[in-house]
Chain A
Amino acid sequence: MNARYRHLINIVSTGVLVTILAMVGLFWARWHLHLVRSIVSREGAARVQISPTGLFPFESADDPNLASLSSATVELVSTVGLFAGLGAPQYVLLHVPRGPGSHVYQWEQATNGQESYLYFDSSLGLMVYGGMSDVRDPNGTVRRRFVTQFAGPEGIAETPGEDLGRFTSPISDGFYANNPQTVYDESHRRFFVIQWRDGLVRKGPELAEAEENGCQPVAMGFLQENPLTLSVTERMPLRRQPGRAELYPWTDKEAPSAQLPRMNSWPVLVLNESGRIDLLNPDTLTLKPGVGHLPTPPTLFENSRPVGPADVAAFSVYPVTVYRREAQKKWVYVGSIAAAASRDLTGVQLTAFDPNGKSVAAAAMYPKPDDVYSSLPGASLVTVLQYLVENLHPPASLLLSSLTASEIPATFDYRSLVLLPNSFVAMAARDANFGRVNRFASSLFFMLPAIGLGVFLSWRVSRDAFQMGLSKQERTLWTLGTFALGLPAYVTYRLTRPTGALVTCANCGLGRRADFEKCQRCGAPWVVPELTSPAWRVLGAPEPAEENSLSREPRADIQVQ
């Protein structure tokens, strides 16, 4: 391997090493600044409350028997969100049974060691249920035994088979998994209900294309992301009765637990990619579109467009039902309460939707993001430091963050080394107040310190490379590379640049490389003493070989011309 390739390997490996280590260091600097901001601005958990929720038509503030109004509270614990968003905790949260990204919908171990589980086996393309079940023998007797059942789009059996069909990318919710289990599969574009106890699979009608009705389900059941960060609690209105304890107004039963709807009668909400929330009819398996929408949380820069699940750091949607004793004599969906946290966990919006998807009450968190970034004590300092740290990133990284600002999921920032979707640059690139060109220009404005640093470092590299005698092509590559990659490229150059002391050029007087034939500045070659014989001669002296005398006395006959 020649020296050129060796040098190239050295530059590439040093560059990769320095870049990774620098990015990890900068990541932790950003992360700690986010943490400090959370602590400074919240001093604990932040709460938003709406009361009354406006979801109960019989709730009236004038009612003398009303003990307390209905309310909905959302709690944001942004410090937990920062920890939970890191890659390692996120991996565990996503993969543990019943986790938001897990295909293990149920896994329980009874005290007697008996287990029951329900999961999706991607190799079979089937839902698998294992647990105790009442099974009828051929002789007619019913026995309780452990069974394993497999369910596909076409049916249920105790052994897997092609006749059951295949699910490819099912969406289900572990909370509803017991019986019946509702599943949506994108490849079939329809909902299924798996009734494990009855051994039946019901198919819903095929949904229209997503372009036609905007229906692109991404989650169903309990709609929540990062529940450790954002949690919603709801309180029903309470009515006072003389001589009795406080009771819920729509029932005369005393035990509150008996007033909760049965699991299988809870409304199944479906969240679409656009952020729209639909309600699934459990009988017909059709959707009632637009019963709500993910609220748009306030952000530092205007973000007026409706947000989808990928645009918020955390969300939680809670369906509300009441028991209509007089009319339908069943639990009826009366609306939902939805909350969402902004990408940088500085803003929260809480909204209550009626059954038709109309917003009936809303509240945003205080302090607002503007205050969190500027007005609160210490906030300005954190903002300045955050801005400086972000601008230590390579300009290429910031440019990529700007160009992909709307495409990268919000939570990606908590584990991303290169892209910064929650940086000032990316926030400016998402600003809905401006058009596309102005957004990009605004984003570039926020990049100016990084660009300035890139220019300064590339100038230094270019100057040093010229002094060290790098070729014009090498100098150009290093200059452009340092401008695009910033600090890591500069450190890489310093670690891999040619070393060695410069000597003074006899021609130009500046430093020149000792291992080059010509001066890298003036092109002058080395001054080599000529090997011509001198003009002077020693005459009259005998050749030493001919003189055998060892006499040390000076000789008078030698003349020098």
Chain B
Amino acid sequence: MLTLIAREIRDNSVHFGACCVISEIIVAAIVCMILYGVVGAGVLIMYMFGGLLFLDFGVLGAAQMYGDRANRVSTLLSTQAVTRSRILIARVLTGVVIILISLIPAIIASVILLKLRKPPLEFYSQMVWDISIILVLTALACHAMGLLVGWTASRARLILGFVCLIVLLASLVVVKGFGPSAMAVLALLIAAIWGRIWHTFTSTSL
């Protein structure tokens, strides 16, 4: 499994690097906002690069599946002692790893800086907790949607499907907010997408 994950990371090293760089930019923006009070530009940068980061999670998922479909990677690997389920799990785990590596530093930076600079009010902890969970779940959903639409041979279908699904996903967060109901809906959505991908991916003929 580790070999498969390492291979996935190697194959998608561009996205991996991009996510890390964007994450660092966001951390820098947070530091500027809280320590130096650069609110306007900081918020703008955070929104812009935040959107880019989530888009990249989706593109990563799509690239993983589209590359496989185009190059028949899983078909080749299936001739070895590897099942398609394991290949899919490795892809999902790769996505999870990249998402955590990208988001956790930004979340930790926010928490530390807020604790240093702001009074110990209870609402911060609740808000940071809620929003962090929603961000991670949204990132997972973006990656899962990329995996879902990436399993196609048509480039037009890939792009259109990806754009539509990402817009619907973003609007879902706007509609439901950051509370428990939004978490439940996102978790359900992620589970459903993983179930659908698993069935599609493992039942495709060689």
B171: Cβ under 8 A from any A Cβ: yes
Smallest CB separation, B187 vs chain A (Å): 11
The answer to whether B122 and A17 touch across the interface, beta carbons within 8 angstroms, is: no
Please, which residues of chain A bring their CB within 8 A of the CB of B171? 24, 28
Contact of A88 with B121 at beta-carbon distance under 8 Å, contacts A6-B199, A16-B188 already known: no
A9 to B121, CA, bound (A): 45
The answer to whether B175 and A417 touch across the interface, beta carbons within 8 angstroms, is: yes
B189: Cβ under 8 A from any A Cβ: yes
Please, which residues of chain A bring their CB within 8 A of the CB of B130? 91
Please, which residues of chain A bring their CB within 8 A of the CB of B178? 87-88, 91
Within 383-428 of A, Cβ neighbours of B (below 8 Å) are at 415, 417
The answer to whether B123 and A17 touch across the interface, beta carbons within 8 angstroms, is: no
B109: Cβ under 8 A from any A Cβ: no
Interface 1/0 per residue, B163-190 and A, CB below 8 Å = 0010010011111111101100100110
The answer to whether B119 and A6 touch across the interface, beta carbons within 8 angstroms, is: no
The answer to whether A25 and B196 touch across the interface, beta carbons within 8 angstroms, is: no
Chain A interface, DSSP helix/strand/loop, else mixed: helix
Within 75-101 of A, Cβ neighbours of B (below 8 Å) are at 86-91, 95-97
Residue of B nearest to A115 (CB): B119
Contact of A103 with B195 at beta-carbon distance under 8 Å, contacts A20-B185, A24-B172, A28-B171 already known: no
A117 to B119, CA, bound (A): 8
Contact of A119 with B122 at beta-carbon distance under 8 Å, contacts A9-B195, A10-B195, A13-B196 already known: yes
Please, which residues of chain B bring their CB within 8 A of the CB of A12? 192, 195
B203: Cβ under 8 A from any A Cβ: yes
Contact of A20 with B189 at beta-carbon distance under 8 Å, contacts A88-B173, A91-B179, A130-B119 already known: yes
Please, which residues of chain A bring their CB within 8 A of the CB of B49? none
Residue among A90, A97, A415 making CB contact with B123, cutoff 8 Å = A97
The answer to whether A87 and B189 touch across the interface, beta carbons within 8 angstroms, is: no
B73: Cβ under 8 A from any A Cβ: no
A142: Cβ under 8 A from any B Cβ: no
Smallest CB separation, B204 vs chain A (Å): 13
Residue of A nearest to B197 (CB): A13
The answer to whether A87 and B127 touch across the interface, beta carbons within 8 angstroms, is: no
Q: Which 6 A-B pairs have the closest CB atoms?
A: A13-B195, A87-B177, A16-B192, A91-B177, A10-B199, A17-B192
Known contacts A16-B189, A17-B189, A88-B173; 18 further A-B pairs (Cβ under 8 A) = A6-B199, A6-B202, A6-B203, A10-B195, A13-B194, A17-B193, A20-B189, A21-B165, A25-B168, A27-B175, A86-B174, A88-B176, A88-B177, A89-B177, A119-B121, A119-B123, A121-B122, A415-B175
Can you offer 24 A-B residue contacts whose CB atoms are under 8 A?
A: A12-B192, A13-B191, A13-B199, A16-B191, A17-B192, A20-B172, A21-B168, A24-B168, A87-B173, A87-B174, A87-B175, A87-B181, A88-B174, A88-B175, A88-B178, A95-B123, A95-B127, A104-B121, A115-B119, A117-B121, A119-B123, A120-B122, A122-B122, A130-B119
By a beta-carbon cutoff of 8 Å, the part of chain B in contact with chain A is: 119, 121-123, 126-127, 130, 165, 168, 171-179, 181-182, 185, 188-189, 191-196, 198-199, 202-203
By a beta-carbon cutoff of 8 Å, the part of chain A in contact with chain B is: 6, 9-10, 12-17, 20-21, 24-25, 27-28, 86-91, 95-97, 102-104, 107, 115, 117, 119-123, 130, 415, 417
